[in-house]
Amino acid sequence: MPDASRFSSLLLDWFRQAKRPLPWRDGYDPYQVWLSEVMLQQTQMDRAVEYFNRFLARFPDVHSLARASEEEVLRLWEGLGYYGRARNLLKAARAIVDVHGGAVPSSAAELSALPGVGAYTTGAVLSIAYGQDMAAVDANVERVLARVFDIALSPKAPEGRRRFAGLALSLIPQGQARDFNQALMELGALVCTPRDPACPRCPLASICLALAKDTVDLRPALPPGKPVVPIGMGTAVILHEGLIYVQKRLPGGVWGGLWEFPGGQIEPGEEPEQAALREVREETGFVVRSLGKLAVIKHSYTRYRVTMHAYLTGFPEGAAPCEPVLTAASSFRWLPLAKLEGLAFPTAMRKLAEAIARDPRLA
Ligand code: SF4
């Protein structure tokens, strides 16, 4: 079993010379640390830094974020995915201003009571922003620990989760959690990567049990993957007198509060075009006809592989749209093509908006 003090001294020596100059590392402002940790979940570092800088330019402190509309926050978040994070970020910012006087809480109980703040974010913010000796175990940390200590438990199983959390906490040298936690994450991101880890240049190679036992490829042990689910969708872009119909999804769910073109899943035995026209009827009450195919958009999220068949549609000759009867949306708009740019769309709908802009029929 590798010795804890040897582990931490090798790791911290490496971090002092290898750490990346990330914007929130300049002063470790709690608001910025919290924002970065929320953005980094499920997101590559380069992308998170780009969004972080843009977000911070618009919302330089928690007060400015708390005053923002959900619409504006979602628009700035567009493309990062997992939009629940953005909605929770806004709710938490408002709670920080209303309940905590604008200061990100420095106690685990208060911090973890904020919307969207789980065990990982609590540990990361308290250690990195406030220097408290708390563990912060993400996938990078799990991988490094699983390999150095050759742990055969899956970190996704309850027993494994407890083991990794306890081990990560026990390894923190007193008073150094800020650097130690960041160093572990950084090593997992830059050296001990999921595939082809760079063992020859790893600072922990001399104490790594998986390297010694040739089990690196088996760690961390993962539960069997869930099957990929293909989904076919029919979507309608409704055009009337140069304006395009968009609707705002109901709150909640993965894409709650974002804008979309009406559509939904293709039912068994149904053609994509029929599905698009049926969905328009069900979601708005409009009876429209197809004016032809617009685009086929492929998009993946979690384990779903979506193929979206999109059609240009319009009202029959002489008919005009009445007020829609909304069943899947909270509001709607008729907008010229140029105004779609300002709306927050899920990624697949943004791709469709871009396809619309390229279509000669709408030029
Ligand atoms: S020696 Fe290799 S497997 Fe072990 S921690 Fe370093 S990079 Fe990971």
| pLDDT tens for each residue of 352-362 | 999 999 998 88
Q: Where is the domain boundary, 168, 184, 218? A: 218
Is residue 161 domain-shared with residue 27, that is, in the same domain? yes
Is residue 295 domain-shared with residue 330, that is, in the same domain? yes
Residue 223: inside a domain: no
Instruction: Quote the pLDDT of residue 79.
Output: 86
Instruction: State if residue 203 touches ligand 1 by the CB under 6 angstroms criterion.
Output: no
Q: Under 8 Å CB-to-CB from 105, ≥6 apart: which residues?
A: 96, 111, 114
Q: Under 8 Å CB-to-CB from 352, ≥6 apart: which residues?
A: 235, 237, 261, 294, 295, 297, 308, 310
Q: Does the annotation mark 142 as catalytic?
A: no
Cα 256 from chain centre: 14
Residue 304: inside a domain: yes
Q: Which atom of ligand 1 is nearest to the CA of 199?
A: 2
Residue 222 has pLDDT above 80, yes or no: no
Q: Where is the domain boundary, 152, 184, 218? A: 218
Q: What CATH code is carried by the domain that includes residue 117? A: 1.10.340.30
Is residue 211 domain-shared with residue 249, that is, in the same domain? no
Instruction: State if residue 185 touches ligand 1 by the CB under 6 angstroms criterion.
Output: no
Instruction: Quote the pLDDT of residue 195.
Output: 85
Is residue 31 domain-shared with residue 154, that is, in the same domain? yes
What is Dmax (Cα atoms) for the chain?
Answer: 80
Closest listed residue to residue 291, CA positions, set 229, 236, 335, 353? 236
CA of 130 to the centre of ligand 1 (A): 29
Is residue 129 domain-shared with residue 206, that is, in the same domain? yes
pLDDT digits (tens, 9 = 90+) for 19-56: 999 999 999 999 999 999 999 988 889 999 999 999 99
Residue 95: inside a domain: yes
CA of 13 to the centre of ligand 1 (A): 16
Q: What CATH code is carried by the domain that includes residue 293? A: 3.90.79.10
Q: Where is the domain boundary, 218, 237, 265? A: 218
Tokens of 11: 């790791």
Rounded to an integer, the average pLDDT of 67-96 is 93
Q: How confident is the model at residue 81 (pLDDT cuts 50, 70, 90)?
A: confident
Closest listed residue to residue 51, CA positions, set 76, 27, 88, 33? 76
CA of 274 to the centre of ligand 1 (A): 54
Residue 224: inside a domain: no
Is residue 276 domain-shared with residue 165, that is, in the same domain? no
Residue 236, domain extent: 229-362
pLDDT digits (tens, 9 = 90+) for 152-174: 999 988 899 999 999 999 999 99
Is residue 60 domain-shared with residue 190, that is, in the same domain? yes
Closest listed residue to residue 199, CA positions, set 190, 209, 211, 189? 211
Is residue 37 domain-shared with residue 166, that is, in the same domain? yes
Instruction: State if residue 219 touches ligand 1 by the CB under 6 angstroms criterion.
Output: no
Residue 156: inside a domain: yes
Is residue 233 domain-shared with residue 132, that is, in the same domain? no
Instruction: Quote the pLDDT of residue 299.
Output: 86
Residue 142: inside a domain: yes
Instruction: State if residue 89 touches ligand 1 by the CB under 6 angstroms criterion.
Output: no
Is residue 196 domain-shared with residue 324, that is, in the same domain? no
Is residue 264 domain-shared with residue 315, that is, in the same domain? yes
Number of domains present in the structure of the chain:
2
Is residue 138 domain-shared with residue 243, that is, in the same domain? no
Residue 181: inside a domain: yes
**HSE-CB for 353 with a 13 A CA cutoff:** 22
